[in-house]
Structure 1
Amino acid sequence: MHVEDIKAELRKRYGSLASISRQLGLNPNAISAAIHRPGNSIRTERRIAELIGKTPHQVFPDRFHADGTPIPRAVIRTPISRVPDRLRANGAMA
């Protein structure tokens, strides 16, 4: 779903995003942050989908697999190649 569609659906059913957050016992900005920042809070993203009456994958297809498991957001920082020796100072990284 588009971000604006999610926000509109929540507002139509429950009121402002801040009031929904407070009713759930969260920070007033929690719902908005979860909608706008992927991976900010998987639990809140699931709660948003539950409030709308859909699965997390239907609401956030780029954040959840079809089975409901979150898509990992971790960046793989393993180097894929070595720095050429000609770019090193005295054979050591500068």
Structure 2
Amino acid sequence: MHPEDIKASIRKAGKSITIAAKDLGITPSTVSLVVSGRGKSMRVQTYISDLLGKSVAEIWPKPERIYLPVCESCMSRGLQSNDRGGGQSGSVGLTG
């Protein structure tokens, strides 16, 4: 979900970032960081997912891996993949 959609859903559930933070005993900025995806806290994510009636994975899906070809020059210098095993040979895995 987009962070603005998460915030709107929290408001529709009768709460706010500030109220959620008070319920959790943390700062509103911590909750905002998690909502925006710039921070991670399973405790905050679980609180919000319970509040919205959705799974954590529905609200914050994991980014897909994108594989880009690695140039021959890079491969000759030993750069094969940042996938750490199991990736496609000659490609670089990025999250996006």
In which range does the TM-score fall when normalised by the shorter chain? 0.5 to 0.7
CA distance in 1, matches of 2:16, 2:32: 10
Corresponding residue for 2:24? 24
Measured on the aligned residues, the alpha-carbon RMSD in Å equals 2.2
Q: Which of 64, 78, 82 matches 1:81?
A: 78
Equivalent residues of 1:31, 1:48 under 8 A apart: no
**Structure 2 gap segments, 5+ residues each:** 64-76, 80-96
Cross-structure match for 2:56: 56
Equivalences, count = 66
Scaled by the length of structure 2, what TM-score is found? 0.56
Cα contact 2:21–2:31 (8 A) shared by 1: yes
TM-score of the pair, normalised by structure 1: 0.57
Give the percent of matched residue pairs that are identical in Structure 1 and Structure 2. Answer: 33
Q: Deviations over 1:62-89 (max 9, x none)?
A: 27xxxxxxxxxxxxxxxx838xxxxxxx
Q: Which runs of 4+ in 1 moved over 3 A?
A: none
CA contact (8 A) 2:30 2:39 kept: no
Q: Which has the larger radius of gyration?
A: 1
